[in-house]
């Protein structure tokens, strides 16, 4: 009888962790991956910003206006940038680079670059 009790005790100690591990491994993992028609835009925007080697602040998403806003640090100044999430992010970042390059050539300081409306514009600081 003692042998049987010891065998049962060893079996329980040995097999319970294995059974619990099998049960836990077959439970579906819950992964939160929000899906949106704009997910591709934000991935491409991050890729465009990283490719252009632009140092930005945190993106502020304004879905109600279909815009993304962030600040760009350039020559110890913060430039407010507004992009449209309805347009190609690579084209917008390319345009932003052209605007920054033109401002440097003309020795002007940018204050705001808005590429979101139908007619994009840039505002310069008064020196």
- Range of the structural domain that residue 63 is part of: 39-124
Domain assignment of residue 78, yes or no: yes
Percent of the chain with pLDDT over 70: 72
Q: What is the mean pLDDT of the chain?
A: 79
Query: pLDDT (tens digit, 9 = 90+) per residue, 20-52?
Result: 666 665 545 555 455 566 678 888 888 998 898
Domain assignment of residue 30, yes or no: no
Domain assignment of residue 52, yes or no: yes
User: Rounded to a whole number, what is the largest CA-CA distance in the chain?
Assistant: 97
Domain assignment of residue 10, yes or no: no
What's the total number of domains in the chain? 1
Domain assignment of residue 80, yes or no: yes
Lowest-confidence range among 22-26, 74-78, 80-84? 22-26
Sheet arrangement for strand 67-74: 60-62, 67-74, 77-84, 110-114, 121-124
- This prediction has a pTM of 0.66
Query: pLDDT (tens digit, 9 = 90+) per residue, 58-71?
Result: 788 887 888 889 99
Domain assignment of residue 73, yes or no: yes
Number of Cβ within a 10 Å radius of residue 69: 17
Domain assignment of residue 67, yes or no: yes
pLDDT band with cut points at 50, 70 and 90 for residue 2: low
pLDDT band with cut points at 50, 70 and 90 for residue 82: very high
What is d(CA 79, CA 84) in angstroms, rounded to the nearest whole number?
16
pLDDT of residue 34: 53
Domain assignment of residue 1, yes or no: no
């Amino acid at each position: 009888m003692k042998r049987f009790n010891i065998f049962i005790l060893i079996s329980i100690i040995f097999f319970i962790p294995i059974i619990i591990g099998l049960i836990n491994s077959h439970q579906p993992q819950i992964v939160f991956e929000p899906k949106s028609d704009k997910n591709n835009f934000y991935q491409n925007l991050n890729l465009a910003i990283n490719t252009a080697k632009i140092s930005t602040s945190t993106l502020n998403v304004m879905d109600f206006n279909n815009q993304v806003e962030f600040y760009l640090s350039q020559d110890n100044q913060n430039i407010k940038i507004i992009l449209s999430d309805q347009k190609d992010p690579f084209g917008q970042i390319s345009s932003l680079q052209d605007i920054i390059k033109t401002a440097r050539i003309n020795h002007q300081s940018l204050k705001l670059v808005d590429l979101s409306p139908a007619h994009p514009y840039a505002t310069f600081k008064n020196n």
